Amino acid sequence: MITDPLTIGIIGMVVLLLLLALGMRVVFACALVGMVGITAVLYAKPNFDLMKAFLAGAGISGLTPHSKAVSYTLSVLPMFILIGYLAFYAGITKSVFEAARRWIGWLPGGLAVASVFATAGFAAVSGASTSTAAVFARIAIPEMLAAGYDRRLAAGVVAAGGTLASLIPPSAILVIYAIIVEASVRDLLLAGFIPGVLSAIIYAGLIVLRAWRNPALGRPIRGYTWGQRFESLPGTFPILLVIVIIMGGMYMGWATPTEAGALGAFVVFVFAVLRGMNRRQFTDAMLETAKLTVMIFSIIWGVLVFVRFLGFARLPENFAHWIVELPLDPWTIMILILLAYAVLGMFMDAIGMLLLTLPVVYPAVVALGPGLGFEPGSGDVAIWFGIIVVKMVEICLVTPPIGLNCYVVNGVRPDIPLSDVFRGIGPFFIADVLTVAVLVAFPAIITWLPNQVFH
């Protein structure tokens, strides 16, 4: 019988990956391996027989989800999700795209650039990448195709633009990261704002450069007067107000992320009612919010049981010690970790990937912090790594074979082959790699805003 906890932990990791490869859902695979793993670790102890170990393992597995579910931090997720669905049913997305079209359409590839900034605007009230991609696949792609834009560019820009919701607050992924590593949700949400805007600017610059060199990709949209441009601005006020409430509330310190999210949801609800949202649309928004919230919470619960098993097996601390002892430069190790995320993201969804890897990888990154230039105990390494790893998650949302955003765009627009969507995303993948390189080379881009506000 195997009695070494570390060996049991490694076997558990292998079994989990096997179950996921066979198609078992993340929540069930993690909960099953976690409970059996805890039982195995306890059974290896001298004072535990099999029944006693099983009862203890089942008890720990049952209490873990409840202890985390009652956490106040988790309450921010349904608020952010609700904002996005209410904004969609209120028709705010169309108003934002129309405003961006009138103000930015004159650039080379103007409609594509407008799509980038419109998705960035919607990301500020959505927080979910796939829903952002789905919404603008319905709104922006028809407009671009009608204007003669290359369909690969049209599909690629929507799939890539949807990923901006992972960084720009309110971001559900950043909240999940904060919960896993026990970092400040407020600091992370603020830290994601500048990198998110930077990503949008790099996307836009790439489109302008490509369309300038090859006008056939997407010609400028002209003919709007200044009056028509200013007429489009009132439609963007709900999003601007939500941004002010969420960012301003956290910046000034008078609202927690959950309170800011609740205020933002209320504001969007008022605008939705004023715009004529009916009872059925409101019911649909609430049901969709509940479905997505339950899905995310279920995954978190299952993975937390597995994380508790890893703690019993002492796998994270042993992995961190092994990483630190490697005869490599800390930056080399960091790059290898990011490359591992890039490969893993080709086969796993974003939430599952974070939940499974962070309990093991995060302690190692913290241990490397001084070698990366971060002061021990400052917390900056947690914020910096959080934004970097979420940006890697963005890349994974558009890379084959999973590339969830690409499948979403293809699902909404089946007339555009999936192969064209993936080809259209290629230049944006390069832009994302460039963005990651900039964020890794200049950590202050990430840490400056939260440090200015709270330190």
Helix (H, G, I), strand (E, B) or coil at 120: helix
DSSP per-residue letters across 300-365? HHHHHHHHHHHHHHTHHHHHHHHHHHSSS-HHHHHHHHHHHHHHHTTTS-HHHHHHHHHHHHHHHH
Rounded-to-integer distance, Cα 366 and Cα 158, Å: 35
Spatial contact of 132 and 161, defined as CB atoms under 8 Å apart: yes
- The count of C-alpha atoms lying within 13 angstroms of the C-alpha of 138, restricted to the half-sphere facing its C-beta, is 10
Question: Nearest 5°: CA angle at 357, between 354 and 358?
Answer: 75
Q: How far is CA 58 from the centre of its chain?
A: 32
pTM of the full structure: 0.78
Q: How far apart are CA 349 and CA 342, in angstroms?
A: 12
Which ranges of 147-278 does DSSP label H, i.e. alpha helix?
A: 151-162, 172-181, 185-191, 193-213, 226-231, 237-243, 249-252, 257-274
Tokens 């409840």: give the residue. Answer: 66
Q: How far apart are CA 259 and CA 263, in angstroms?
A: 6
- Tens place of pLDDT per residue across the chain (455 aa): 677 777 888 888 888 878 877 878 777 888 888 888 888 888 877 777 778 878 888 887 777 777 666 666 667 778 877 887 787 777 777 788 888 888 888 889 888 999 898 888 877 777 667 777 877 888 888 888 888 898 999 999 998 888 888 888 777 788 888 888 888 888 888 888 899 899 999 999 999 999 999 988 888 888 888 888 898 888 788 778 877 887 777 767 677 777 877 888 888 888 888 878 888 888 888 888 888 778 777 777 777 788 788 777 877 677 767 776 778 888 888 888 888 888 777 666 677 678 778 888 888 888 888 888 887 766 788 899 999 998 888 787 787 766 778 888 888 888 888 888 888 988 998 899 899 999 998 998 998 888 876 55
Joined together, the tokens standing for residue 364 give 């190692």
How far apart are the C-alpha atoms of 369 and 212, rounded to whole Å? 42
Q: Two tokens at 66?
A: 């409840």
